[in-house]
Amino acid sequence: MYNAPDNENIYHVRSVGSYENSDGSAPPHSPKFWGYFNSSTDKFIEVDLQAHLHTYWQRRFGQSTTIPEKHNLRTDIIIGKHMFFNGTVYDSLEHKCTTQKICHFVKLSIPVDKYAKRSTMSKANWKVYFGEVLLFVAHKFNDDMEEMLCLVRLVNASLNKNTGCPYGSQSIGDDRYRKLYVVDCDNIDSHTGIIKMGKDHGIDSNKCYYIYPEMVANSDIDLGKLSQI
């Protein structure tokens, strides 16, 4: 994802302490980045991170604020290798721990009303999504506003009507039926595990259940579609 000549040593960067929202607006227990370092959006070659951040700020402000053109947004960013939030450590795919555990596949709550704010939205405006965290990034809209964000690759999940369990592709990293999206870090609800379904209820045996903490059998979660965001 990175431009190797400019970032060849980033995978060995270590930092002491943690990074959190620097504009003073972060409430207690807000997301914190571990193993953070300074970088720039122009050091990415596989993903147009600047464009995804521009789209995020457009959604954030809607029609209430004039958003600069993409090339006029600030390019300086903070990248976190890991995030600590609500007592849980999350990995990003770009800086995944050397373990067999999947620590970057997550359950998220995302608003489908693109101009609404979390504090004012009704429950019907929020949908459940699943996806991979590719990158944790802090970005400043201006000197007075910074957000702790993550670039995620959302999957096209479905709900097994017989069990109430969400399911989807078993192949994490497959770009088919997926969408890149920038969201606030606090949109992440929990880690998600993947369990192969087998041949049950007539569903493709290559699919897997998505299992998450506090999951209830036969629950009717409100799954969102990629076309809604």
SS3 content of the chain, % helix, strand, coil (to 5): 20, 40, 40
Q: What does each of the 229 residues of the chain score in pLDDT, given as a tens digit?
A: 655 444 444 444 555 468 887 666 666 678 999 989 999 999 998 899 999 999 999 988 876 678 889 989 999 999 999 999 999 999 998 887 666 667 899 999 999 865 444 445 444 489 999 999 999 999 999 888 999 999 999 998 998 888 888 998 765 655 555 899 999 999 999 999 998 877 655 555 678 889 999 887 767 789 999 988 8
Q: For residues 1 and 159, give the distance between their C-alpha atoms in angstroms, rounded to a whole number.
A: 32
Q: For residues 93 and 102, give the distance between their C-alpha atoms in angstroms, rounded to a whole number.
A: 9
CA neighbor of 126 nearest in space, from 84, 62, 186, 196:
186
- Per-residue model confidence as pLDDT tens digits over 41-52: 999 988 999 999
What is the value of pTM for the model shown? 0.84
Tell me the β-bridge partners of 184: 149
